[in-house]
Amino acid sequence: MSRNTPPPITRDGGRHFAGRPLALYLARPPGATLGAVYDLGAAIERRVDEMAVDVGERRAWLDAWAADLEGASRPADPVLARLWDAVRRDRLQLQPLLDLIEGGRRRLDHRQPANFGELMAVARLSGIPYARQYLHLKGIHDPQALARGDALGSALWLLDRLLATAPEATGQGRVTLPADEMERFGVAHDELCRGHQSPALRRLLRHQFQRALGPLNAGAVLGRELGPLRGLVLRMVVLRAWQRSQRFQQQGDLAESPRLQPNDWIKVVSHALRNAW
């Protein structure tokens, strides 16, 4: 493989996907079509974080994947070929796939968002496409349902990134927290590297999590469109995400991924069963 040739995309149906997009929970097993979407998303995540490779080369790989998907000829890569076929059969939409790649490009070009607007722009590019493709496959095209899916997809992506604050700062040089808000709250970069929540950092994280609650709740109403079983699963996804954020704020250790305890799961399941939004 030459330096400019993208590495092959791993085919694992999203089993090792770090971001856990919304549709990955709603469609189990994901099937060949959605599985290829997850494979592309996971490959983008790996390329963005592959620090041993020059940024320009990684960006060229993303550009090559986008060109393959838009091209007139069927790509050689099996995952891209499956996506290319699905787009042309109207099983998938092309633009959300290109949005995923654009989200990766922006994260390569800007290792830290300057402000919350930049952060949410990447969250929309990186989180919405999974919900859009899932709803398209289910034949759900109502504008209100799509707007709820967009809100939920971006909010879940944002929460997932906030829960990975320390690994991004220390291992990969990538920071989710907006630069202007770190300055406003008095949080220095070395505080993230120390792996412990200072009072200032705790206030900043609380501010970020509270801000994600609005779109998270707004998107959760999407459960009404998905039927009883998938609606229940969606409510559990939302409640699990929020419960993990609460655990993260309580533990004080940035380096440790928050794990829900049995009593947390009891709360998640009981609230999901009681609340049909």
Report pLDDT for 49: 79
Q: Which of 47, 87, 2, 3 is nearest to 174 (CA)?
A: 47
Query: Cα–Cα distance between 17 and 156 in angstroms, integer?
Result: 14
Q: DSSP string of 57-99?
A: HHHHHHHHHHHHHHSSSPPSSHHHHHHHHHHHTTSS-HHHHHH
Q: How many CA atoms lie within 13 A of 208 on its CB side?
A: 32
Report pLDDT for 250: 79
Question: For residue range 137-155, what is the model confidence (pLDDT) as tens digits?
Answer: 888 899 999 999 999 889 9
Say whether domain 22-274 belongs to CATH 3.90.1640.10.
no
Query: In terms of C-beta density within 10 A (0-12 exposed, 13-18 middle, 19 or more buried), how is residue 31 classed?
Result: exposed
Please report, as a single letter, which amino acid is at residue 93: Q
Cis amide leading into 29 (omega within 30)? yes
Report pLDDT for 267: 86
Tens digit of pLDDT at every position of the chain (277 positions): 445 677 778 766 554 444 445 554 555 555 678 888 888 988 898 888 787 788 899 999 999 999 999 999 999 999 999 999 999 998 899 999 999 999 999 998 888 899 999 999 999 999 999 889 988 888 889 999 999 999 988 998 888 888 877 655 555 567 889 999 999 999 988 887 776 778 898 899 889 988 888 888 888 888 877 888 888 888 888 888 888 888 887 776 666 677 888 888 888 888 888 765 4
Report pLDDT for 197: 75
Structure tokens at 231: 């609606």
Question: For residue range 245-272, what is the model confidence (pLDDT) as tens digits?
Answer: 888 877 766 666 778 888 888 888 888 8
Report pLDDT for 262: 87
User: Rounded to 5 degrees, what are φ and ψ at 130?
Assistant: -65, -45
Report pLDDT for 60: 93
Report pLDDT for 121: 95
Round the average pLDDT of the chain to a whole number and report it.
83
pTM of the model: 0.83
Torsion of CA 251, 199, 189, 116, to 10 degrees: 90
**3-class secondary-structure state, position 196:** strand
Report pLDDT for 181: 95
Question: For residue range 72-101, what is the model confidence (pLDDT) as tens digits?
Answer: 999 999 999 999 999 999 889 999 999 999
Report pLDDT for 171: 53
Report pLDDT for 16: 42
Sign of CA dihedral 48, 49, 50, 52: positive
What residue segments make up the domains of the chain, in order of their start? Answer: 22-274
Report pLDDT for 248: 82
